[in-house]
Structures are given as C-alpha cells and as structure tokens.
A and B are shown apart, each in its own frame.
Chain A
Amino acid sequence: MSTTTLDTPADAPAPAAEPAPRGRRPGERGPLGTVLLHAGLVVASLIALAPVAWLIYLSLGPAKDDYLHPGKIAGKMSFSNYSFVLQHTEFFDWFKSTMIVALGTTVVGVLLAATTGYAVSRMRFPGYKQLMWILLLTQAFPIAVLIVPMYQIFSDLGLIDSYWALILVNCTTAVPYSAWLLKGYFDTIPFEIDEAGRVDGLTPFGTFFRLILPLARPGLAVAAFYNFITAVAEVAFATTFMLDDSKYTFAVGLQTFVSQHDAEWNYMAATAVLIAIPVAVFFYLVQKNLVTGLTSGGTKG
C-alpha cells in the first residue's frame, strides 16, 4: 500500500503519484510537500496583495505622472498626496457620510436579517418556500430596472439626498444574502436550546434575543462584515441618490475626484488607500469568525 500526501492543490488535480516514504504517519507530508505548500500560498498571497500594495506605493509618489515611471518614486517618497487630500478636499465629509451609511446598513441589515434568518431556520410556516425563493432572487434583480422607480419613490417620500434612502436601498441588496447566511448559522444551533428557553417561560422573541443571538456571534460578525462591505462599495445607487456633494460617499467622492483632478492619479491613489483603512479595521475585527460564520450552515446539507 502506498500512501501519498494530500497537499496537492485541487487546480492541479493530477493524481499525485509521488509515493511517500514508508513509516510516515498518515496525514503528514514530507519536507518537499511543505515547501511546495508554502510556495503555492506565498505566490497566491503575492497576487492577492499586489494591486493593493502597488496602490500604496503609487500613492507615495508626489508628482502626478509618477505612475508612469514607478521606478523614480522610490527616491522621492513623501506623504504630500495624503496631506493634500486631507486638507484640500472634502475627504472628511465623505468619510462621515460613508460611515453613517455603512454603519446604518450594518445595524439595520443585521437586525432584519437575523430575525428573518431565525424565523426561516426554526419554523416552517406557510409561505416559507416562497420567501426563500424571493430572498435568493432578490440578489438577481438588475439595478437598471429598479433604479428609476426607486428614485421616484424616494423623491415622493422626500428622501432623496437622505442617508435613510441609501441605507434602505443597501439593505435590500445585503439583507437577503445575510438572512440566508444566518439561517445556515442558526441551523447549527441545536433547537434543544430553544426548547429549554420555552420551558423556562421565554416567548419566541425572548428565546431569540437572549439565547440564540449571543450564541450566533460568529455568524452575526460575518453578516455585519458583508453588510458593511456592500454598503461601502455600493456605487450605482449612491451616485444616483446623493446629490449634495458634502453627502457623497467614498464611492461617489472618488469618481468626482477623477474629473476634478483629471490626470492626478497620485491624489486618487492616496484617497483610495485612506478609504481602505476603515474597511481594513472592520475586517481585522471580524476575520477570526469569517470561516466558521460563512459556511457552518451550508455544510449541513
């Protein structure tokens, strides 16, 4: 019997015929396997990192056509782009509105998604199937159909140029998937816990808020991250619904930046790097939970 190592990546699914030396315990790989594994991951990490790192590097070049001659930047690095962006643009206004919209979407969206996810996880009510279908298909609704009527609704309600409009719209895109995700997570929490709560006299809502939500923290963290990312990265609706330039979110602000400072990509690069910072902070806070939260439900089958 010849045992072989399991460390071949799936995208090279050739039968790894390299026979393992005798006497190795199962599940262990030789030094060659370890080196290959590290090499593969290092290459992949570099590819993942390169565009971001390149942007950071370019943002340090002070002149506007430095991106054409990146070799010259190394000799004259400076933070002048950053100080220009922070002092002479509406960066902090954009920051404020992005944070309001993104955190608003996160709070509202996670709350809505959690109640919905709990309901579809624990109860089979009439209309269950239809609701799951709607949650899935809402993600497929093309913005081109929705954006004009949405604009009309919001202008009738006087919500154009208001953060609420954007928060609600972002929720419609983020909540269906978050609800789907959280349903999967709630499915992994044994429902004996609910029963214990019921026996002790809690209402279904009490069970949900006091027992299930605290247990579902990893799932909630991932849903929050997803909502936050969706809201920060949303371009089309923010462009259409926010007219006042002090209420622009980053996605819109960066676009105006291109036309104002036509070829001055160095400022754009600096702004882009600054934008990535709050997201990176949020990401760092939730990253431990990402793997468990993302699929614990889907694996149940």
Chain B
Amino acid sequence: MTVAIDRATGKRRGDRAPRPGLGQRIRNGYQKYWYAYAMIAPVVVVLAVLVGYPLVRGFYLTLTDANSLNSARTIGVNHIAATYKFVGLSNYKEILFGPLSYDRFWSHFLWTVVWTAACVTLHYTIGLGLAMMLNQKLRGRTLYRVLLVLPWAVPTFVTVFSWRIMLADSGALNQVLHALHLPQPQWLEDTFWQRFAAIMVNTWCGVPFMMLSLLGGLQSIDSSLYEAAKMDGANAWQRFRHVTLPGLRAVSSTVVLLGVIWTFNQFAIIFLLFGPTSAPDAQILVTWSYYLGFGQQPRDFAQSAAYGVLLLSIVTVFTSFYFRWLKRNDQLAV
C-alpha cells in the first residue's frame, strides 16, 4: 500500500490500521479535511445553486412540452399558471429519430463535429508554430508576443464586429481580393463561405490562448535535452518529434481537451457573426439550440433544453473517452 503524505499537514495517510466504523470515519474525515471542505465550500455552493439546480430543472423541462405559450408568465397584473404537461422522452425521440431529425439535428451535429475538429486542429498547429518561433532568442520578442495576444485581449464582440465589417460584400477583404483579381466570395450569404468565415474568425480568436499555453510548455523543456539530441546527431525534425512533442505532452493533453470543450460550445462567434436568425446552415448545435429557445416565436423551451442535454452528454462521453485514452498512454496531466 502506498503511503501518501498530506501536503498541508504533513500527516501520513494510506497506511491505515483496520477500518474504523462509519461514525468514526466521518469524524476522522471531518477532522482531517475540514479546512479542505471549508475552502471548496463557496464554489460548491455557488455551482450547486446556479448550475446544479438549473440543470436539474432544465432536464425536467426536456421531459415536458413547455414553450413560451404554456409556461407560467405574467401579463400586466394577470398571472397565468403553467399548463405544460409531462411528455416523457418524446422530445428526444423527435430530435434524434423524427421526420425532421436530419435537417434539424444531424446536419447541425455533423457540422459541429467538423467545426470542432477543424478549429482545434488549426488552433493547435498555428499556436504551436508561433510558440516555437517566440521561443527563439530574438530581438523584439516581447513586442511580438503582445501583438500576437491581441485577439485574445480584445473582447470577442468587438473583434467579431470588426470581422463582420471586413467580410461584408464590399468590405475590406473583398476589396483586397478584387485588387488581386481573385474571386470575391459572399462571406456572409453563401453557406460554404459562411462556414469558412466562421472557422477563420474562430481560429483568429483562439490561437493566442494555445500559443501562450504551449509557449509556457516549451519554456519548461530542459534545454540540455536538445543539446543531448544534437550530440546524438538528431536533425531538426527528429528533435521536434522526439524532444519537443513529448515535452509538451502534458500541456497539450490539457489544452486540447479545453479547446475541444470550448470550441464545441462556442456561442459568441457564430451568434455575433451571423446574427440570431440568418445563416441557418452555419449554426452549430449550441447556437441552434439558443435559436430554438430564444430566437423564434413561440419559444420552444423544451426542445431547446433537450438539445442542451444532448450537447452535455456528447461532451461528457467525449471527455471520459479522452481521459481513458490519456490514462492508457500515461499522459494524464490532471
């Protein structure tokens, strides 16, 4: 049995004598860990009230046919009680297998998967490239770093607004393309180009975070490893492949997971780039579920919440598989 030493108190754990009774264990646990629990209590309470309860309540809504016409509401002085009723799993059935399921769910699902994969791949490769460039000794490194972090530092709704102006029909980008005698796509109208533009803008916004995280990772790699590799005659690619990438494994596994979760749930960029109603084919599942719940009349709360629950399940399944895969490859950073 391993012996763990509690880092704050210096007490040994793990080599416990015969297991005490339940009451004793609770008391022991309380004495040993009360400060840990006291420190996490505020977060647990806030999350339980503001995330846990709404989640349970939202999950209940998915089992009903609630929309804005039958929910409890107040018009003037009259309070109208809720009249929606319990319908079991029929919302899920309709979303996943109903006659409109392809148009409404699966097409958005496929696009969401493509979007997530494309964005995270681009974030990671470009971020890594820039991080490696910034990790060199060169003049003006700080200036480059400040400039490159700019897309992260300026609020999304400001930069996306700027992109919208640049992507508009006669916007800056098309004027440049015109001057170069290149075709000028309808960035904000044509489905393919809408998707292209969304990925482009999200890549622009997401690279700095990856870049900084990976730069931190690069700086922690012992430089003697590179020298040893050079001594052994490794060329640049071999050094990248066998020193840099393994050295970045822990950081990479964490930032890629966060990147997937954040991109999958990326609401602001698509919402702000195309507005709430246009571009139905460029909506990923998150914005599409927001559209169902808030962007149309009557507002379909139940369906919207059901989409949300499906989204959460997808992320949860992905995350547990990812963790299992990391564990098997012994790359767990957590």
The reply to whether the CB of A86 lies closer than 8 angstroms to some CB of chain B is no
The reply to whether the CB of A171 lies closer than 8 angstroms to some CB of chain B is yes
A68 to B155, CA, bound (A): 24
For window 1-26 of A, CB contacts with B under 8 Å fall at 1-17, 26
Q: Mark A193-205, 1 if CB is under 8 A from B, else 0.
A: 0110010000111
For window 136-187 of A, CB contacts with B under 8 Å fall at 136-150, 152-153, 168-169, 171-172, 175-177, 179
A194 to B36, CA, bound (A): 14
* A47 contact set on B, CB distance < 8 A: 204
* B216 contact set on A, CB distance < 8 A: 291-292, 294-296, 298-299
* A52 contact set on B, CB distance < 8 A: 150, 154, 159, 162
The answer to whether B155 and A233 have CB atoms under 8 Å apart is yes
* B293 contact set on A, CB distance < 8 A: 144, 147-148
The answer to whether A172 and B230 have CB atoms under 8 Å apart is no
* A27 contact set on B, CB distance < 8 A: 223, 226-227
Most buried by B among A6, A232, A280, A299: A299
Tell which of A1, A116, A254 touches B40, judged by Cβ atoms closer than 8 Å: A116
The reply to whether the CB of A213 lies closer than 8 angstroms to some CB of chain B is no
The reply to whether the CB of B170 lies closer than 8 angstroms to some CB of chain A is yes
* B308 contact set on A, CB distance < 8 A: 141-146
* A299 contact set on B, CB distance < 8 A: 216-217, 220, 250-251
The answer to whether B204 and A120 have CB atoms under 8 Å apart is no
Q: A266 → chain B, closest Cβ, in Å?
A: 10
The answer to whether B126 and A8 have CB atoms under 8 Å apart is no
Q: B139 → chain A, closest Cβ, in Å?
A: 8
> Given the known A-B contacts A172-B50, A295-B213, are A301 and B148 also in contact in the complex, defined by CB atoms under 8 Å?
no
Most buried by A among B46, B128, B163: B46
Q: B269 → chain A, closest Cβ, in Å?
A: 10
For window 2-24 of B, CB contacts with A under 8 Å fall at 4, 6-10, 13
> Given the known A-B contacts A8-B236, A142-B308, A276-B155, are A235 and B50 also in contact in the complex, defined by CB atoms under 8 Å?
no
The reply to whether the CB of A41 lies closer than 8 angstroms to some CB of chain B is yes
The reply to whether the CB of A30 lies closer than 8 angstroms to some CB of chain B is no
The answer to whether A7 and B133 have CB atoms under 8 Å apart is yes
The answer to whether A233 and B157 have CB atoms under 8 Å apart is yes
The answer to whether A145 and B290 have CB atoms under 8 Å apart is no
The answer to whether B146 and A287 have CB atoms under 8 Å apart is yes
Q: How large is the interface on B (under 10, 10 to 19, 20 to 34, 35 or more residues)?
A: 35 or more
Tell which of B133, B134, B268 touches A235, judged by Cβ atoms closer than 8 Å: B268
The answer to whether B47 and A138 have CB atoms under 8 Å apart is yes
* B136 contact set on A, CB distance < 8 A: 6-7, 29, 37
The reply to whether the CB of A99 lies closer than 8 angstroms to some CB of chain B is no
* B171 contact set on A, CB distance < 8 A: 67
The answer to whether A204 and B129 have CB atoms under 8 Å apart is no
The reply to whether the CB of B239 lies closer than 8 angstroms to some CB of chain A is yes
> Given the known A-B contacts A37-B138, A137-B319, A287-B146, are A169 and B153 also in contact in the complex, defined by CB atoms under 8 Å?
no
The answer to whether B319 and A265 have CB atoms under 8 Å apart is no
For window 219-260 of A, CB contacts with B under 8 Å fall at 229, 232-233, 235-236, 250-251, 254
* A139 contact set on B, CB distance < 8 A: 258, 261-262, 265
> Given the known A-B contacts A9-B132, A13-B240, A51-B163, are A275 and B138 also in contact in the complex, defined by CB atoms under 8 Å?
no
Q: B284 → chain A, closest Cβ, in Å?
A: 11
For window 157-205 of B, CB contacts with A under 8 Å fall at 157-159, 161-163, 165-166, 168, 170-172, 175, 204
The reply to whether the CB of A272 lies closer than 8 angstroms to some CB of chain B is yes
A123 to B40, CA, bound (A): 11
A37 to B140, CA, bound (A): 12
> Given the known A-B contacts A54-B166, A145-B309, A145-B312, are A112 and B46 also in contact in the complex, defined by CB atoms under 8 Å?
yes
Q: Could you tell me the dominant secondary structure of chain B's interface residues?
A: helix
> Given the known A-B contacts A16-B236, A146-B55, are A116 and B39 also in contact in the complex, defined by CB atoms under 8 Å?
yes
The answer to whether B217 and A143 have CB atoms under 8 Å apart is no
Tell which of B33, B50, B130, B162 touches A150, judged by Cβ atoms closer than 8 Å: B50
* B54 contact set on A, CB distance < 8 A: 145-146, 148-150, 153
The answer to whether B35 and A204 have CB atoms under 8 Å apart is yes
The answer to whether B129 and A268 have CB atoms under 8 Å apart is no
* A295 contact set on B, CB distance < 8 A: 212-217, 220, 251
Q: B229 → chain A, closest Cβ, in Å?
A: 10
The reply to whether the CB of B321 lies closer than 8 angstroms to some CB of chain A is no
* B264 contact set on A, CB distance < 8 A: 140
The answer to whether B213 and A294 have CB atoms under 8 Å apart is yes
A175 to B42, CA, bound (A): 11
The answer to whether B130 and A9 have CB atoms under 8 Å apart is yes
Chain A residues within CB distance 8 Å of chain B: 1-17, 26-27, 29, 34, 37-38, 40-41, 44-45, 47-49, 51-52, 54-55, 58, 67-68, 70, 112-113, 115-116, 118-126, 131-132, 134, 136-150, 152-153, 168-169, 171-172, 175-177, 179, 191, 194-195, 198, 203-205, 207-208, 229, 232-233, 235-236, 250-251, 254, 265, 268-269, 272, 275-276, 279-280, 283, 287, 290-292, 294-296, 298-301
* Interchain residue pairs with CB less than 8 A apart (11): A51-B151, A70-B175, A116-B43, A139-B258, A142-B307, A143-B290, A152-B57, A172-B50, A236-B271, A251-B155, A295-B212
Q: Which 6 A-B pairs give the minimum distances between C-beta atoms?
A: A295-B216, A145-B308, A149-B54, A301-B250, A9-B129, A145-B58
